[in-house]
Amino acid sequence: MSLESEAGLPGDVLPGVLSESLHAELVAFRRDLHMHPELGNQEFRTTAAIKERLERAGLRPRVLSTGTGLVCDIGLAEGRRPSVPLLALRADIDALPIPDTKADCPYRSTVPDRAHACGHDVHTTVVLGAGLVLADLAAKGLLPRPVRLIFQPAEEVLPGGALDVIEDGILTGVGRILAVHCDPRVDAGRIGLRHGPITSACDRLEIALDGPGGHTARPHLTTDLVTAAARVAVDVPALIARRVDTRAGLAVTWGRIESGHAPNVIPQHAELSGTVRCLDLDAWRQAPDIVHAAIDEIATLHRAKSEINYMRGVPPVVNDRETTELLRRAMVARRGMQSVESTEQSLGGEDFSWYLEHVPGALARLGVRRPGERTVRDLHQGDFDADEHAITVGVELFTAAVFLEPTSVQD
């Protein structure tokens, strides 16, 4: 089915509109997940809950080899090879190791120091809801193509549970993949889209600096390690900024510096840790060598020995143009042109990027801010919550995309 009108079409033109009863069920499902958050690779209860609901719909989900997370095909007989490429819908299912600080919320986390503060419970519920709607359409012979649901564990665990999913061969037969991520800056009922990079690369960096130590009265006789650590903290980011195109946005930001125990003792050991973020995929691939060289130069200048642990994280999510346009047309079909807005590239990381190394796809920013609300509850904060109308929006976005054909887009 093609959709050419740019003026927007009413949502009932395409199958897959969410019923009020299913919306209510999905809200209850999301709240249950929100109350029982689980960290990456520990999502056993979450996996069981998703599996039970899919099986109740007559589907046959398969738990991933890692023991958590699932994959489930719709419109494809078990053991059969698809005659056309599958469209995959991906959700991440893990939570964060932070406390839920929402006050007077009946569905706040019941697990100490654990919270769904990034919206993964919403992502999971959206893909589950889309799967239930599509399963019903498939039973009626109305599904135009097979669909694969991917419920991925450990998105918050670098370098990301997406790599385990790929290692399991879950992308075999997939021709295109879609995802959403909650955005508390966008009103519920709307999505944000962007061609090209929509997130950034994110790596982690740990540095140990060592010297012989000494008395603060005689820094000239030893390695002034506190000064060396301070110069690494200040000079390394500045040096890196002059070794790549500034448009690449390669940046080091420190989160921890530790050294010393007494005011008159020059310590023998110092530690720094932080993140390396990058807007550009090519620059990200060069980043470890650039960062290593800059640290070594500054440490050597101050006579400190350096040990560097550079931990690869995730590359930027680079949205495919055709898939981004598919999501735009799907949203316009449901809610009109005013429901789509352009979004900027985020400096946050997302392991959805690993899938896009293998198949074309796109991630949309799903608005979760209550319209008219001035306070922005940011991601990775203990008071984060979502307007649950976003669940219906996400489900209907995905189901509409299933019924549309991608169209070529000129740069």
Q: How confident is the model at residue 374 (pLDDT cuts 50, 70, 90)?
A: confident
pLDDT score of 365 more than 70: yes
* Span of 27-31, 53-57, 242-246 with lowest mean pLDDT: 242-246
Written as six digits, the tokens of 120 are 């993964």
pLDDT computed for residue 5 by the predictor: 43
* Amino acid 224: pLDDT: 97
Question: What is the spatial distance between Cα 363 and Cα 181, in angstroms, rounded to a whole number?
Answer: 7
Is residue 144 classed as helix, strand or coil in its secondary structure? coil
- CA-to-CA distance for 108 and 35, rounded, in angstroms? 5
Other CB atoms within 10 Å distance of the CB of residue 168: 16
Mean pLDDT for 80-108 is 93
176-189: pLDDT as tens digits? 999 999 999 999 99
Beta bridge partners of 369: 187
What average pLDDT does range 5-17 have in this prediction?
A: 61
410 or 195: whose pLDDT is higher? 195
Q: Name the band, by pLDDT with cuts 50, 70 and 90, for residue 79.
A: low
Would you place residue 407 in the very low, low, confident or very high pLDDT band (cuts 50, 70, 90)? confident
The 10s digit of each residue's pLDDT in 249-281 is 999 999 999 999 999 999 999 999 999 999 999
d(CA 266, CA 264): 7
The answer to whether residue 215 scores a pLDDT higher than 60 is: yes
Q: How confident is the model at residue 408 (pLDDT cuts 50, 70, 90)?
A: confident
Give the mean pLDDT of 292-317.
97
**Whole-number Å distance between alpha carbons of 158 and 198:** 19
Per-residue pLDDT, 410: 65
Residue 8 has pLDDT above 80, yes or no: no
Tell me what the mean pLDDT of segment 147-174 comes to. 97
Mean pLDDT of the chain: 94
The conformational region for residue 261 under phi > 0 = left, psi -120 to 50 = alpha, else beta, is alpha
pLDDT at 9 over 60: no
Which pLDDT belongs to residue 90? 98
* Residues 334, 191 contacting (CB under 8 angstroms): no
In this structure, are strands 305-314 and 201-210 parallel, antiparallel, or unpaired? antiparallel
According to DSSP, residue 337 is labeled G
Band (pLDDT 50/70/90 cuts) for residue 294 is very high
Radius of gyration of the chain (CA): 24
How far is C-alpha 272 from the geometric centre of its chain's CA atoms? Answer: 26
Burial letters for 347-356: b for 16+ Cβ neighbours within 10 Å, e otherwise? bbbbbbbbbb
Q: What is the reported pLDDT for 82? A: 74
Q: What average pLDDT does the segment 221-230 reach?
A: 97
Per-residue pLDDT tens for 132-159? 999 999 999 999 999 999 999 999 999 9
Q: Give, to the nearest 10 degrees, the angle between helix 120-139 and helix 20-35.
A: 140
pLDDT confidence of residue 411: 58
H/E run at residue 367: strand 361-369
* Cα–Cα distance, 353 to 99 (Å, whole number): 28
Query: To the nearest whole percent, how much of the chain has pLDDT over 70?
Result: 96
204 CB-near residues (< 8 Å, 6+ apart): 158, 273, 274, 275, 276, 310, 311, 313
pLDDT one-digit tens code per residue, 115-125: 999 999 999 99
- Per-residue pLDDT, 10: 47
